[in-house]
Amino acid sequence: MEAYLLEFGNLLLRWLHVIAAVAWIGESIYFVMLDNGLKPPKSEECKKKGVFGEMWAVHGGGFYHNQKYATSPEKLPDDLHWSFWKSYTTWLSGFALFALLYMTKPSFYLVNPNSPWEWAAGMTGWQANVVALVFLASGWIVYNELCKRISPNMERDGVLSIAVAVMMVAVAYLSSHIFSGRAAFLITGAVMATAMSANVFFWIIPGQRRMVKALQAGETPNPIDGKRGKQRSVHNTYFTLPVLLLMLSNHYSFTYNHPQAWVIMTLFIFAGALIRQYFVLMHSGQHKPAYPAVGVLLILAVVWIAAPVSRAPAAVSAPVSGEVAEGAEVQAAPEVTLAQVQGIMEARCVQCHAAQPTQPGFASAPAGMMLETEQQTQILANQVKQVVASGYMPLGNMTQMTDEERALIAAWSGN
């Protein structure tokens, strides 16, 4: 019952997380589009009121006239709309999911026993939890310091963009060497998502509150608050597509189980940012197809890097008196059969990957992958070969799969 309740809680939290994220990202993309699509007002009356730009639109059978004031509208309404709870709900529900799914079983989901760094491979569960939290906090601190030091007055945003890009390469490299593959992708996405929500909490909303307070007091708002809010909002919109990809990546083991997972992660991040750049520019009337073209090239590079490499079964020599006799035939190793692989599945994998798992803490098969029959195993052959060969599965090798068993599965043709 406990495992079932945890699974149901996972479902509800994931649902809430997706709902909040769709609302936040949708609103964010809309306002970026609106901001970039504004045209100077034609009406003299609007100009006198301080209207900076306007846009006419048609949607849902009606016409809309959106106007933006530079900083000082004539009067603020009492029902001013604020945009922040969608951001906070997205982050809080995402962190709750991370705690429920990863931090409750850190030895399985966070620790990377294959890390080239001895201290990372040897972490205990609670140590991995602490490192993960420090990693998230450090990501925000470093990013925020880069913004404050490189472009405090938003005059060097180009240089800042390069610095943030370098930072994300470092985050991808470090996360993939410290944490297990799937967790590394998730934590890298969480670093970006934390920066996005923290931008709203620490900079965008406080700046807007100061602007509103100044207007209510009959004072002129400090324009730096508006500029800084726009800077952080623009950063958020470039983070959006990479974060979505990284959060979806845990369904695709060919990404996070690859020896060069950090390179794959980096290419996906840059591809998402470049594709988003095209739409940002398009809203302002500029069409720059080079941006999505390069983004697609980066994705094609991932296709090439992540493609499986076919390996023929190793050949063995027929021994004659301890040596291979001259002229003796060299025979190929006997083909690995599905029955042999299924025997390993039953010994090492079906504790979790079953309709009714016997492993405590699992109410259903992870990712819906069941390996109780030869037919089920054959359908999932590619995924099984990949996660077993990489050492990612079994999680923490809790069922003690041997190197010989891994080699046998690697040599299996999958037929």
Q: Rounded distance, CA 241 to CA 269, Å?
A: 8
Q: Per-residue pLDDT averaged across 330-352, rounded?
A: 83
pLDDT of residue 326: 54
When pLDDT is cut at 50, 70 and 90, the band that residue 309 belongs to is low
Q: Residue 100: helix, strand or coil by DSSP?
A: helix
In Å, how far from its chain's centre is CA 127? 23
pLDDT of residue 2: 67
Residues 49-68: pLDDT tens digits? 888 899 999 988 899 989 88
DSSP 202: I
- Does 73 score more than 70 pLDDT? yes
**For 128-158, what is each residue's pLDDT tens digit?**
999 999 999 999 999 999 999 999 989 999 9
Q: Give the chain's length.
A: 415
- Residue 212: phi, psi to the nearest 5? -65, -45
pLDDT at 322: 45
pTM: 0.81
Which is higher by pLDDT, 346 or 78? 346
Question: Please, what is the angle between helix 223-248 and helix 181-198, to 10°?
Answer: 160
- Confidence band (pLDDT; 50, 70, 90) for 71? low
Taking residues 70-90, report their average pLDDT.
Answer: 83
Most confident of 94-103, 193-202, 226-235: 193-202
* Separation of first and last alpha carbons in the chain: 38
Instruction: List CB contacts of 353: < 8 A, sequence separation 6 or more.
Output: 345, 365, 366, 369, 370, 371, 372
Beta-strand relationship, 51-59 and 330-332: unpaired
Q: Which residue has the higher pLDDT, 368 or 72?
A: 368
**Radius of gyration, alpha carbons of the chain:** 27
Q: How far is residue 260's CA from residue 211's CA, in Å, rounded to a whole number?
A: 47
